[in-house]
Structure 1
Amino acid sequence: MNNVAIAAIDLGKHSFHLHAQDDRGHELYRRKFNRAGLTRHLANLNPCTVVMEACGGAHFMAQHVAALGHSAKLIAPHLVRPYVKSNKNDFADAEAICEAATRPTMRFVPPKSQEQQALAMLNSTRDAFVKDRTATANRIHAALLEVGISLAPGFKSINGLEVLLEEASFSDSIKSILRCLHEHFKYLNEQVKSLDKTVESQAAEDDLASRLMTMPCVGPITSSVLAAELGDGRQFKCGRGYSASIGLVPKQHSTGDKTVLLGISKRGDRNQRRLLIQCARVYLMHLDGQKGWLADWVRQLLAHHHSNHVVCALANKLARIAWAIAAHHTEFDAGPTAMNA
């Protein structure tokens, strides 16, 4: 066990399959552990590289592995899949992880700290409540339509539902169901408002998130999501690498000497891409009040391109700016023109 150079772990909820290799790439052993047994085994190993797929529980395990003195590396699952030989099973997956980790051009996912995990959980929980609130509102609108009542679109009309139910002539059983839905809607609405305040306070306290909010039209939600995923930005060589990782660069389909660029690739985390595109749309909506080099660049694009193309280009630019802020520990600078305006 002291000759282990790379230990690859196929993570599970209760069982963990480990594949160990020496520095020449020769298999030393493969074993199955429960969580406690894996911890004891890793504690007895000399410092080595421990590789895992970036899946559920991977960031916690990476923190735990680092605390034991090992070097933890995470690989995106879709980059491991080509290295699975023949039939798929847990030991074959662990061997494929080990094989992928030895590739010199392999891209790794940086392990998240607990602060980054907290920001990510906070935003995912808020998104879940927002979706549930919208779904509940739609159920209320649909149920009322079944009894001949058509409310105005949106959430505001639902606030007066209690008064409407008192005056309505349909059966008590239908009223009871609608009151239940209304109570659930009010609960979700309060949860969303509470989480909004929590996101604002967390973003203000986080160093990177607060610096990202110096970017135009980037608020607490977008900045906290980017801070949770970007970290220090060292996993990317440049801003284009980060932008490409979330699918904001053109998809290429070239052959020979013919270069063909298509629409944006839409790869990676769709949530980050969605937020940056929303920020870009808001920026275009308020372009008349924007000053500085970024505003001048957007106006030049609008003179020759459709607004949807400009939105994607601006979202790409914002992603690169976000990486520069994270990697160089700076803030957004709109230029002297914006300062004098």
Structure 2
Amino acid sequence: MKLEVGIIGGAGYTAGELIRLLLNHPNTNINFIFSTSNAGNKVYKIHQDLIGTTELSFTDTINPNVDVLFLCLGHGNSTAFLEKNEFSNTTKIIDLSNDFRLKADETLDNKTFVYGLPELQKEKIVTANYIANPGCFATALQLAILPLAANGLLKDDIHINAVTGATGAGTSLSKTTHFTWRDNNFSHYKAFNHQHLGEINQTIQQLQSGCESKVFFMPNRGNFSRGIFATAYTTFEGTVEEGIALYKEFYKDAKFTFVSDEAVHMKQVVNTNKCIVGVEKHGNKLLITSVIDNLLKGASGQAIQNMNLMYGFEETLGLNLKANYF
């Protein structure tokens, strides 16, 4: 029997990837794709890569009895939507916005959302009914530093530089998303105060209580479509061999996070749900490189991974995707 799935906010990049994954998932049937601005239009008119794949249309009506509900709404809108719309007590919800990621915001009415980073707390996800899917930068950066925090090894500040593709800004046009601005260009934004820092610091305290290390994060805009390339460094007293062994031990059972013996690059992960991590030692600094696809491991792919865990499916089901390596 297939799960009946509903999607709220179906027109964006994240929703487009989610629809693609669900259409090819053996255990799901898309019951409805809610979009008030596109109601009645064929899905492939908006997500043009799906022509010939589906004849589904967007709708402005909701089935409250679906098994799984994915919220692909802008940040701040998921709370308002759930306050206005009722769903069955058996409907499991996976929210891809930032509304419920922090402990202070995790509960709405009788719903308590579990932070959905499988490498951090798979056991809680398995038994959860409501998931707050992590942010894209937050995913890449946490996977770079989780092993250090889990072993109490964050003794100094952490400096991170990361660049994301244009899809990270969503489909709405702005000055910095126009092709003529983005092409052959590079810039930073939200220096040291990006909204994903809340998730990252929360996880650090969860794993290494009382940690006083600060995270200095410089996010950048790249002139490519998708992917995140992040580098983080902090003081580390051990050898590089010890650092690599630490990371490999921590991720030995992870289904999508891998530690490479060679320098990593972004083409290894684009169009996949993988995170690939590289570890180097320079002087007294451990340098960790982390690469993901911002729309997959950073959003929709991780949401499917969480759904698989919640329903007892094989964690990798529907997510065995090949990178766009060439």
Q: If the TM-score is normalised by the length of the shorter chain, which range does it land in?
A: under 0.3
What TM-score do you get using the length of structure 2 for normalisation?
A: 0.26
Larger Rg: 1
Looking at secondary structure, tell me which structure has more strand per residue.
2
Q: TM-score, normalised by structure 1?
A: 0.26
Higher helix fraction (1 or 2): 1
